[in-house]
Structure 1
Amino acid sequence: MALSYKARRRVALLVLLVGLPIYILVASVLATTIAPDSVLVTLLLYVGLGIVWILPFKSVFKGIGQADPDAPKQRFDDDP
């Protein structure tokens, strides 16, 4: 089932405002408990976790920055 443009915008906003801060907390706790004292391994873990969070939400965020494709087209016939 495909989400409408407005529903995708709402889900994207929810993910960014609620889901991402929770993911950041979980990722930082995970990184501090799993990662050894090596700075390079910790950096790679943070970079990997920073990329992994977006993969499930790729379809939700795709095209959000563009105009609503379902909105009626405005015509400007009266150009001065």
Structure 2
Amino acid sequence: MALSYKTRKKLALLILVVGMPAYVVAAVTLLNWLGARFGRLPILAELAVYIGLGFLWALPFRGIFRGIGQPDPDAPQDIDPK
């Protein structure tokens, strides 16, 4: 089932406004918990984990975000009668 452009745009906005902050909080909480339980990672390893998690969150949603910045392909085209 393919989603319409408007549905994908609304879903992308919901993911960015609600999902991304929740993911950031979950990632930081997880790393803080692991740091308290097993000891803190070296700073470069911690940075690598944050960068990896930063890319990881977008992988399942790349189909939703693809083409969102383009004009609506379902919108009627204006034909210039020149």
TM-score (normalised: structure 2): 0.88
- Between the aligned partners of 2:69 and 2:34, the Cα distance in structure 1 is 36
- How many residues are aligned here? 78
Query: Which residue is equivalent to 1:48?
Result: 52
TM-score (normalised: structure 1): 0.90
Written as runs of structure 1 = structure 2, the 5 A alignment for 1:29-68 is: 29-35=29-35, 36-68=40-72
- Give the number of the structure with larger relative contact order, counting CA–CA contacts within 8 Å between residues 6 or more apart: 2
Alpha-carbon offset, residue 37 of structure 1: 3.5
Which residue type is aligned with residue 81 of structure 2?
D
- Between the aligned partners of 1:18 and 1:40, the Cα distance in structure 2 is 29
Q: Which SS does the other structure have where 1:63 is aligned?
A: coil
Runs of 4+ in 1 over 4 A off after TM superposition: none
- The range that moved more, 53-62 or 24-33, is 24-33
- Between the aligned partners of 2:58 and 2:70, the Cα distance in structure 1 is 19
Q: Which runs of 5+ in 1 are unaligned?
A: none
Identity %: 47
Query: Which residue is equivalent to 1:4?
Result: 4
